[in-house]
Amino acid sequence: MENLIKALKAAGEPTRIRILAALSQYELTVTELVSLLSQSQPRVSRHLKLLLEAGLVSRFQEGSWVFQRLSESPVTAQITRMINLDDPELKQDSERLGRIKVQNARLATDYFAANAGDWDQVRTMVGSDESIEVAMLEAIQGRNFDNMIDMGTGTGRIVEIFATHADKITAYDSSQEMLKLARTKFEQAGLNHCQARLGDITALPAAAGSAELITIHQVLHYLDSPFAVIEEAKRLLAPNGLILIVDFAKHQHEFLRTEHAHRRLGFADSEVQFWCDNNQLSLNRSQKITHNDSRNGLDVMLWVLEPATH
């Protein structure tokens, strides 16, 4: 009862209701909340401190950025369910939040468009593709799949390496420039069972439970909401399927945000476990692939997820 009273007191203020409403839709930095609420940074930070102390909000730091999200407590869920997002002020906040999302997405889209032609070369600047690809193939243990989906395919390289392990592969990306390169690559290689399609990887035009293998390769660090992609992958995953995620291990290279449009500075196992715990998935394997250049290179992680068994 004491915790409930503390949480209700913390939530019972207009600005803090607005913060909870926004975080129920999106993970946000303090800077983004300042922009959304049109309030000073010290004032927003004070509100966040109260919500944090009440256990309604959690925070995690990546380099110089601190992200805020709703906590996982049942009390938080109860309170946010009472918030009416149709309230006029909250609807205005949602519209501003939509503009923040568009702005963040545009940064990544512009970067992909500018670098599409040299994308495979750009990727090798921050990782060892050969060792990553070997690890991904080892993870499937020689299995063959009826249907595979590659989420955020880029130039289609992952489709190439899995082409002999799936009867049908659909590769989705939101960049027309990337898809042109992927289609050309598939055609030249005679991969008639592989298709490149335009799509938002948080809401793909594919049937639930239709994919036995889902790959998400070097995509999540560009996104505002990696969790939303994992939710969609779980929706698409067949009961006996696998999700292979490749992304950077946690790092502190801030230049990747300004020069390469990275939103997140890699991920820890604890973050992936959070995704699993909230999507009825099991973390089957976590493997670090160390970069050859230990001083300047970035380590890469491979995570293998599968449906949780109860």
Same domain, 147 and 291: yes
Residue 98 inside a domain? The answer is no
> What is the domain extent for residue 58?
2-83
Q: Are 10 and 56 in contact (CB under 8 A)?
A: yes
- Taking the C-alpha atoms of residue 16 and residue 93, their distance in angstroms, rounded to an integer, is 13
Same domain, 269 and 152: yes
Same domain, 222 and 167: yes
Same domain, 47 and 186: no
Same domain, 182 and 302: yes
Residue 88 inside a domain? The answer is no
Q: Which CATH number fits the domain that encloses residue 64?
A: 1.10.10.10
What amino acid is encoded at 229 in this protein? V
Q: Which residues contact 277 (CB under 8 A, 6 or more apart)?
A: none
pLDDT of residue 121 exceeding 60, the answer is no
- Taking the C-alpha atoms of residue 133 and residue 131, their distance in angstroms, rounded to an integer, is 5
Tens of pLDDT, residues 222-231: 888 899 999 9
| Mean pLDDT of the residues in the chain | 87
Same domain, 153 and 13: no
Same domain, 139 and 183: yes
Give, in order, the Cα–Cα distances in Å from 107 to each of 94, 142, 159, 282: 20, 38, 25, 33
Number of other residues whose CB lies within 10 A of the CB of residue 171: 29
- Taking the C-alpha atoms of residue 44 and residue 246, their distance in angstroms, rounded to an integer, is 35
Residue 297 inside a domain? The answer is yes
Tokens of 204: 């793909």
Residue 92 inside a domain? The answer is no
Listed range (216-220, 231-235, 251-255, 263-267) with the worst mean pLDDT: 251-255
Same domain, 77 and 148: no
Tens of pLDDT, residues 41-74: 999 999 999 999 999 998 877 667 778 888 888 8
Residue 108 inside a domain? The answer is no
Residue 274 inside a domain? The answer is yes
Q: List residues bridging with 134 in a β-sheet.
A: none
Share of the chain above pLDDT 90, in %: 53
Same domain, 161 and 216: yes
Task: Specify the pTM.
Answer: 0.69
Domain boundary at 57, 83, 109, which? 83
The pLDDT, as a whole number, for residue 59 is 85
pLDDT of residue 203 exceeding 60, the answer is yes
Cα three-residue angle 305-107-270, rounded to 5 degrees = 25
Radius of gyration of the chain (CA): 20
The number of domains in the chain is 2
Helix (H, G, I), strand (E, B) or coil at 56: coil
What amino acid is encoded at 90 in this protein? L
Same domain, 142 and 273: yes
End-to-end CA distance of the chain: 31
Number of other residues whose CB lies within 10 A of the CB of residue 287: 15
The pLDDT, as a whole number, for residue 102 is 76
Tens of pLDDT, residues 77-113: 888 888 998 999 999 999 988 888 777 766 666 766 6
Residue 101 inside a domain? The answer is no
Same domain, 128 and 55: no
Confidence of residue 290 (pLDDT cuts 50, 70, 90): confident
Average pLDDT over residues 271-281: 95
Same domain, 149 and 227: yes
Domain boundary at 38, 56, 83, which? 83
Q: Which CATH number fits the domain that encloses residue 132?
A: 3.40.50.150
Residue 139 inside a domain? The answer is yes
Domain boundary at 32, 56, 83, which? 83
